[in-house]
């Protein structure tokens, strides 16, 4: 399923991106559908992505959003998008992108206070993330000035929201006595008893799920055909298992009941990696994660796009209209 999803996303967007870039002007004009103000843009975006979940964090009690970030685990997101604007204040976007998420309790700075529980938990994860989404863009200032033909700013703030799909597959690490680290996929190990009869309220989580992308940014018109932008892209998800940590510790004997001997051996080692001197914190039923807040992630993106069709029939006509328009004031 994972390879199939990756293949379909990349094939669709690469084909669409190249087709639109190298399309003849006559083809671009056919996209107008009778609307002389419609513009079509294709572009690339990249920037750091930050994970918001149960693992990692900072001193004190676990918190949310910016205060929960671990910058050393930041990875770069890469993607492509197509944006269609029927007018200057409304747009529709389709995008696909790849990023990488990670979390690690080991890097928490501690002074022996409330964060010691998370530090001692000593869990980690990493996961490739592939996603595709559609969104509606709204330019509030352009909407308020929609009847003012003289209002053509180069810097245009906007907000957006939509719906998407993302695929993740968390891995956790084990380190042997020689310091050699190996990574293992966590979902098949059912580390919190997902899918076990003893935990009917914990179904096995799906690796491909729905998310809600939302955010805002600024679009700057470098020229008639090239735009540069900065955007904050936040994804609300409906799962608390991107990092495979959510609820409580389970009885490790259940791994032998439901898993193969090889998988059970790995699961017993990886579900509980607290130091051997600490035992009472990991008894079955005690807290392993916090299920009150679902996992999320967000990116700070630099966006570069090109316009592949004309507005006002062509840029020459638009400039001529601007030069011959009566001035608003003297």
pLDDT per residue as tens digits for the range 26-54: 444 444 444 567 899 999 999 999 998 88
pTM reported for the whole predicted model: 0.81
Question: Tokens 């968390």 map to which residue?
Answer: 170
* 218 CB-near residues (< 8 Å, 6+ apart): 155, 156, 157, 158, 229, 230, 231
Measured between alpha carbons, how far is 95 from 93 in angstroms, rounded to an integer?
7
Tens of pLDDT along 235-253? Answer: 999 999 999 999 999 999 9
Distance CA 102, CA 127 (A): 6
Q: In sequence order, what are the residues at sequence separation of 6 or more whose Cβ sits closer than 8 angstroms to the Cβ of residue 7?
A: none
Tell me the per-residue pLDDT of 139-187, one tens digit each, with 9 for 90 and over: 999 999 999 989 999 999 999 999 999 999 999 999 988 889 999 999 9
Domains of the chain: residue spans and CATH: 2-169+207-248+287-323 (2.40.160.20)
**pLDDT tens column, 255-307:** 999 999 999 999 999 999 988 666 677 889 998 888 888 999 999 999 999 99
pLDDT band at 119 (very low <50, low <70, confident <90, very high): confident
Residue 8 pLDDT greater than 90, yes or no: no
Structure tokens at 276: 């051997």
Q: If you write DSSP's letter for every residue of 234-290 in order, what string do you get?
A: EEEES-S-SSS--SB---THHHHHHS-HHHHHHHHHHS--S-TT--GGGSTTSBSS-
φ, ψ for residue 4, nearest 5 deg: -65, -45
193-207 residue pLDDT tens: 999 999 999 999 999
What is the phi-psi region of residue 229: left when phi exceeds 0, alpha when psi lies from -120 to 50, beta otherwise? Answer: beta
User: What's the pLDDT tens digit per position in 296-308?
Assistant: 999 999 999 999 8
Please give the backbone phi and psi of residue 300, each rounded to the nearest 5 degrees, phi first.
Answer: -110, 110
């Amino acid at each position: 399923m994972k390879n199939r999803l990756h293949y379909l996303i990349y094939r669709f967007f690469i084909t669409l991106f190249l087709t639109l870039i190298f399309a003849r002007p006559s083809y671009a004009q056919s996209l107008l559908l009778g609307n002389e103000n419609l513009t079509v843009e294709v572009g690339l975006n990249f920037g750091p992505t930050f994970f918001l979940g149960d693992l990692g964090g900072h001193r004190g009690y676990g918190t949310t959003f910016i205060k929960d970030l671990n910058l050393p685990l930041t990875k770069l997101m890469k993607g492509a998008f197509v944006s269609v604007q029927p007018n200057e204040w409304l747009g529709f976007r389709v995008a696909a992108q790849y990023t990488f998420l990670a979390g690690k309790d080991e890097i928490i700075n501690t002074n022996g206070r409330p964060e010691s529980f998370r530090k001692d938990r000593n869990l980690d994860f990493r996961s490739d993330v592939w996603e595709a989404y559609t969104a509606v863009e709204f330019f509030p200032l352009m909407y308020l000035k929609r009847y003012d033909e003289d209002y053509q700013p180069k810097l245009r703030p906007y907000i957006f929201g939509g719906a998407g799909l993302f695929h993740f597959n968390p891995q956790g690490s084990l380190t042997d006595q020689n310091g050699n680290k190996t990574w293992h996929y966590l979902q098949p190990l059912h580390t919190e008893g997902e899918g076990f009869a003893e935990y009917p309220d914990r179904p096995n989580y799906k690796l491909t799920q729905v998310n809600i992308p939302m955010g805002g940014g600024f679009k700057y018109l470098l020229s008639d055909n090239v735009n540069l932008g900065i955007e904050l892209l936040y994804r609300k998800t409906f799962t608390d298992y991107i990092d495979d940590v959510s609820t409580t510790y389970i009885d490790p004997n259940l791994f032998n009941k439901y898993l193969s001997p090889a998988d059970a051996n790995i699961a017993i080692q990886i579900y509980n990696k607290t130091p051997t001197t600490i035992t009472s914190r990991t008894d079955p039923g005690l807290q392993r994660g916090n299920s009150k807040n679902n996992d999320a992630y967000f990116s700070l993106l630099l966006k570069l796009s090109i316009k592949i069709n004309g507005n006002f029939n062509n840029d020459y006509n638009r400039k001529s209209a601007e030069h011959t328009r009566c001035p608003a004031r003297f």
